[in-house]
Amino acid sequence: MSTESVSARTMPEGSLPFILRLTRPHHVMLIVALLAAGFSAVFALAPTLVIYGISLVVLSSDPEAFRIVFLALVGLGAVVVGLLLASAANMLGHKIAFAVQKELRLALLGRMAQMPVSRIEGKAGELKKVVLGDIDRLEGLLAHVLPDMVAGLTGPIAGAVVLLFIDWRLTLSALALVPVAWFAQYWTWHGRTAIFEEWNRTEANANSALLSYVRGIATLKAFNRQASTLENVTTAIHRLRDLAVMVTRRSRYPYSLFSSALSANLLVVLPVALILHKSGLIDQAEFVLAVVLGACLVKPLNKVVFAAMILARTSVAIDRIQALLNTSTIAEHARMNPPVHNTIRFERVCFAYPEGRAVLQNIDLEINEGSLTALVGPSGAGKTTLARLLPRFEDCTSGCIRLGGVDIRDLSLAELRRRIGIVFQDPTLFHGSIRDNIGIAKPDASPERLAQAATDARVQSFGGDALAVTVSDGGSGLSGGERQRVAIARAILKDAPILILDEATAFVDAENEAEVQVALSAAGQGRTVLVIAHRLASIEHADQIIVLNEGRVEACGKHADLLRRSPTYARLWNAQQRATGWKLAAPGYQG
C-alpha cells in the first residue's frame, strides 16, 4: 500500500466517500476538472444570452448591424471557450482516472502479496476481475460521471439564476416539471435494487461456471459431462437476457414520463412568460430570453440521471475492490533478533480457513534442530495446512509457533522464509526456462551450483540441455514428475536450514525416485526436515513420526512404538502392506 489514500479500512465506505478518498492526492486537479466542467456548462448558455442581447439591439430605436455582428462573435467566442473547458475537464478527468487506477492496482497487488496464500490460490478469476475489470470501471466514474454530474447540475442552476434576475415566476415555471421528472425516476428505480442484485449474482455465477468449464475441460470430456456444465453457463446467459428485458419493460413508462417532463418545459414557461409580458412585468427581449432559456433549462438533468445510473452500477465493482482491500493480511512485526537455532515448536496451535471449519486443533509438537520428522495421516487430516503455517502462508487462529524459541510473528517474513526450503505437493513453475525456474530459489547462485542442484534432483534426465527448456506458465508443458524434480532442485539450491517436503516424490517415477531420495537425504543432512509422506515405508526410520488425524495429533513417536500405540498409524501401515501385494487382474486371470 503506497499511499494513505488507498490504504485499507476495516469498515466499507459508500462509493462516493471511497472515490473521494482514493482521489485525495489529486484533489486539486479534480477540483480544477470539476470547475472546468461546471464553467463549460455556464458558457454553453452564451448563445441564449446572445439571442437576448441581439433582441435588445433589434428592438431598440437604433438597431446597428455591427453590434449584432459583435454580439454574435462574442457568443461564438464563448461557445469555443465552453468547448475548450469541456475538453480540459475531460482530459483532466482521464488523467486522474488513469493515475488512480494505477495507484489502486499497485496497492491491491501490494496487499495481495501480504494476504494469506489461501485467499489468493485458486482465485485467479475473481482477482483478475477486481484488479483489471472492476478498476477499469473507475475510469468511467472519474472521467465521465463526476464531470457530467457537475455540468448537468451547473447548467440548470446558472440558467435558473439568470431567469431569477428577470422574474422569479419564470424560474419557478422553468423548474415546474422537475418534481414530475423526479417522480419518474423514483418509479424507474423502485424495486430495481433486487433486480440488480440478482443481475450481479447471475453474472458471477456465469463467470465461475465458465471458469470451471475451462479449467476442468479434460475431466468433463472424459466423463462426457461437457453439456451439463455448459448448461449452467447457458442458463445464466438466458437469465441475464430475461433480467435485461424485465428492466427495459418496467422502465418504458417511467422513462417516457421522465424524458417528456424534461422536454416539455415550454408548455409551462410560454404561458407564464406571455402573462408576465402582457402584464408589463417583462419586456419583449426578456420574453424571448425566458422562452429560449426556459424551454430547455432542465434538459441537462438527463446527464445527471445517466451518471447516477453508472454510479449505481459501479458501486458493485467498488464494493468488490473495497472487500479485497480490506482482506486481512499477514502482519509483519520484525521486533525480535533472528533465532540462534532452528528447533520448531507448535504450542496449542489452532487453525481454520476463512469461512471454513477448524482444520487444526490444539497442536502441540516439537521438531528438534537437525532431526527428521515425518508427518503422516489420512488425506484431509491437515498435514499440508500444518506445514504451511510455518513459513506463515497462513497465520494460526490461536496458539503460537516458535522457531528457535522466537514467536515466528515477531520475525521479519524475509528472515523466516529465508530459513525454510519447501517442495510443495503440487509445485508451480513460471513461464521461462527451467534454469530461471530453479534460479528463483537463489538468484545469486553460481551457474555451477545451479547445475549441481539440477543434477542432484535428476532434472538433467529430461534429456538434452534440460536447463534451457522453456516451460509455459504453471508448468503445464511438463509432467507432474518433471515439475516435482524442478521444485526439488530449487529446494536443494536454496540450501535453507529447514526443509519441508510435502509428498515431494509422489509423482517421480520409480527409476528416478531412488536417486532423488538419495539427493534429498543428502540435502537433508544436518538440517531440520519435516517430511509429509503417504508412503509410510519411506519414513519408517524417521527420528520422530507425528500422526495427524482430523486436525489433531493422535500420537507421536517412532515407527515400532506407533504401530502399537496409534490405531490410525497401524491402520495406514497395514493398508499399505496389503496394497503392496495388490495386482490389477485381467478378466479371467487366476492369479
Select the span of 134-142, 338-346, 353-361, 519-527 touching ligand ATP (CB under 6 A).
353-361
Q: Which residues pair with 366 in a beta bridge?
A: 345
Select the span of 78-86, 209-217, 382-390, 454-462 touching ligand ATP (CB under 6 A).
382-390
Select the span of 127-135, 232-240, 377-385, 446-454 touching ligand ATP (CB under 6 A).
377-385
Select the span of 17-25, 40-48, 372-380, 432-440 touching ligand ATP (CB under 6 A).
372-380
Q: Based on CB atoms, which residue is closest to ligand ATP, 25 or 378?
A: 378
CA distances to 74, 78, 436 from 36, in Å = 19, 14, 52
Q: Is 356 in the site for ligand ATP (CB under 6 A)?
A: yes
From the CB of 480, what's the least distance to ligand ATP, in Å? 14
Phi-psi domain of 143 (left: phi exceeds 0; alpha: psi -120 through 50; beta: other): alpha
Residues 314, 146 contacting (CB under 8 angstroms): no
Residue 379 interacting entry, from Mg ion, ligand ATP, none, C-beta within 5 to 8 Å by type: ligand ATP
Binding residue (CB under 6 A) for ligand ATP from 12, 72, 115, 118: 118
From the CB of 395, what's the least distance to ligand ATP, in Å? 14
Amino acid found at 444: D
Q: Is 384 in the site for ligand ATP (CB under 6 A)?
A: yes
Q: Alpha-carbon distance 319 to 535, whole Å?
A: 47
From the CB of 553, what's the least distance to ligand ATP, in Å? 13
Q: Based on CB atoms, which residue is closest to ligand ATP, 119 or 485?
A: 119
Select the span of 48-56, 81-89, 149-157, 379-387 touching ligand ATP (CB under 6 A).
379-387
Binding residue (CB under 5 A) for Mg ion from 23, 202, 384, 437: 384
Look up residue 582 and give its DSSP letter: -
Cell of 73: 462573435
Residue 385 interacting entry, from ligand ATP, Mg ion, none, C-beta within 5 to 8 Å by type: ligand ATP
Q: Based on CB atoms, which residue is closest to ligand ATP, 266 or 350?
A: 350
Going residue by residue from 388 to 427, which x/- string records binding to ligand ATP, judged by CB under 6 A?
-------------------------------------x--
Q: Is 564 exposed, middle or buried (0-12, 13-18, 19+ CB in 10 A)?
A: exposed
What secondary structure does DSSP assign to 526-557, as a single string?
A: TSEEEEE-S-GGGGTT-SEEEEEETTEEEEEE
3-state secondary structure of 13: coil
From the CB of 422, what's the least distance to Mg ion, in Å? 12
Cell of 437: 525456474
Map 186-216 to HEC letters: HHHHCCHHHHHHHHHHHHHHHHHHHHHHHHC
The backbone torsions φ and ψ at residue 103, rounded to the nearest 5 degrees and listed phi first, read -60, -40
Binding residues for ligand ATP, total number by CB under 6 A: 13
Select the span of 98-106, 189-197, 277-285, 376-384 touching ligand ATP (CB under 6 A).
376-384
From the CB of 379, what's the least distance to ligand ATP, in Å? 3
Q: Is 385 in the site for ligand ATP (CB under 6 A)?
A: yes
Q: Based on CB atoms, which residue is closest to ligand ATP, 62 or 355?
A: 355
From the CB of 401, what's the least distance to ligand ATP, in Å? 16
Q: b vs e for 232-262, b when ≥16 Cβ sit within 10 Å of the residue's Cβ? A: bbeebeebbeebeeeeeebbeebbebbeebb
Residue 356 interacting entry, from Mg ion, ligand ATP, none, C-beta within 5 to 8 Å by type: ligand ATP
Of 572, 512, 567, which is closest to residue 536 (Cα–Cα)?
572
Map 387-419 to HEC letters: HHHCCCCCCCCEEEEEECCEEHHHCCHHHHHHC
Binding residue (CB under 6 A) for ligand ATP from 213, 353, 462, 507: 353
Select the span of 71-79, 341-349, 382-390, 550-558 touching Mg ion (CB under 5 A).
382-390
Q: Alpha-carbon distance 551 to 238, whole Å?
A: 44
Regarding beta strands 528-532 and 432-433, do their DSSP bridges make them parallel or antiparallel, or are they unpaired? unpaired
User: What residue ranges bind Mg ion (CB under 5 A)?
Assistant: 384, 425
In the complex, which residues of this chain contact ligand ATP (CB under 6 A)?
118, 353, 356, 359, 377, 379-385, 425
